[in-house]
Structure 1
Amino acid sequence: MAFKHLVAFVALFMAAFGAVSPARAQPLQIVVFGDSLAAGYGLAAGDGFADKLQAALVAGGHDVAVANAGVSGDTSSGGLSRLDWSVPDGTGLVILELGGNDMLRGISPDITEKNLDAMLARLKARNIAVLLAGMRAAPNLGAGYQKSFDGIYLRLAEKYGVPLYPFFLDGVAGNAALNQADGMHPNAAGVDMIVERILPVVEKTMAALPRNS
């Protein structure tokens, strides 16, 4: 009889207070989906954006696992072709950072926008939140190209209602001390700057996710 009473007590306790949800017991899965800027081109292990973002989030008390799904040289077309298998089920947030290589190759902004639009639509259909990281065109491509390319990210952020970090390389682009010798890829200190600046936006995005409600 005592054992039966114990079982009944445990059942009442769980009904009253609820068991820990398996979804909430797991770290938030974040995927950084992008090109060489996400992949950590030219950097030592642990110095890439995904690793340093995870360290900063964990230091801030967040239970997260940040996966690096960056591919050096990737364009928006390449990203679209690998999106479905690069972002696994269970992902809670994707930081989408693509378009820089399209710009460097002079690809039509219309194509870049179409590809990013399709990626956002697919992620939305899978109920995966997105933080869109924007890029900016080099001035030497002309004012018309620059205006069209730079406007891609705001237009898509507004269309899909996703948060936008306007320029992934904010504070780093053009600063020789924060870039590798090629002048395009951040060094370890440059990654630190990117993480420092984007971190509040990532945390705000995380706070709005259903699992945190």
Structure 2
Amino acid sequence: MTFKASLLHFAVILVAALVGPRIAAADPLQLVGLGDSLMAGYQLPQEDALPAQLQRQLAAKGHDVVIANAGVSGDTTSGGLSRVDWSVPDGTDGVILELGANDALRGIPPEQTENNLEQIITRLKERNIPILLVGMLAPPNMGEDYGNKFNAIYPRLAEKHGLPLYPFVLDGVITDRSLLLEDGMHPNTKGLQIMAERMLPLAESWVAGIKGQPN
């Protein structure tokens, strides 16, 4: 190898050594958990809330993400719609959308709930922000007719918009009093940990899709 060739070879190696790590060290995905008290972590420290729990579990699987907590206790789908534009800032790579529990508890017409969620989804899609839709089931005391109409909202929207759907946010938790606060409605720290664990496989697949990498 000539001196010039050796010098060029060395320069290429040096540039790769300096630039390579910067390329490899991509910024973490910026996600937002848009929801109500189930997202906010009602009466619990922020580090125990669902976004923080899910972020830690995704990190343990090798996913570099930051999940901002945009949960507001007591929020309805109408409230979420009114604040979606400023609760989801520019630069957001994905939104975990969890709203509707308070609509069901208040007996808000399912048609109104679906319309609000439809508008939230549409606004996020217009901004090219991927969505993981988290579903809710109506409480049994609302009656069969209301329950049938409400429970159909999330599968219908997921199919219409091609969204990944986690069918029931409180799956595996709501029937176990040891996983709930004294009010019997909101999950405690352990309950939120289980919610994150159950949501993790779908969240992993969704995050991998955002990064454009195979799961």
* TM-score normalised by L of structure 1: 0.89
Give the superposition deviation at 1:60. Answer: 1.2
1:27 corresponds in structure 2 to: 28
1:201 corresponds in structure 2 to: 202
Give the superposition deviation at 1:93. Answer: 1.3
1:134 corresponds in structure 2 to: 135
**What is the identity percentage for the equivalent residue pairs of Structure 1 and Structure 2?**
54
Per-residue CA deviations over 1:111-156 (Å, capped at 9, x if unaligned) read 0000000011111111111000000001111111000000000000
Per-residue CA deviations over 1:53-98 (Å, capped at 9, x if unaligned) read 1111111111111100000000000000000110011111111000
RMSD: 2.4
Letter in 1 for 2:56: A
1:98 corresponds in structure 2 to: 99
Letter in 1 for 2:54: L
Partner of 1:146, secondary structure, is helix
Rounded to whole Å, the distance in 1 between the matches of 2:155 and 2:23 is 36
| CA distance 1:7–1:80, change in 2 (3 Å) | farther
Give the superposition deviation at 1:20. Answer: 7.4
Q: What aligned pairs does 1:156-171 form with structure 2 within 5 A after superposition?
A: 156-171=157-172
Rounded to whole Å, the distance in 2 between the matches of 1:163 and 1:91 is 18
Give the superposition deviation at 1:24. Answer: 7.1
C-alpha contact (below 8 Å) 1:94/1:131 kept by paired residues? yes
| CA distance 1:161–1:21, change in 2 (3 Å) | farther
Q: What aligned pairs does 1:103-114 form with structure 2 within 5 A after superposition?
A: 103-114=104-115
Letter in 2 for 1:169: L
| CA distance 1:6–1:81, change in 2 (3 Å) | farther
Q: What aligned pairs does 1:1-213 form with structure 2 within 5 A after superposition?
A: 25-212=26-213
* TM-score normalised by L of structure 2: 0.88
Gaps of 5+ in 2: none
Gaps of 5+ in 1: none
| CA distance 1:13–1:173, change in 2 (3 Å) | same
Letter in 1 for 2:101: G
Rounded to whole Å, the distance in 2 between the matches of 1:196 and 1:152 is 24
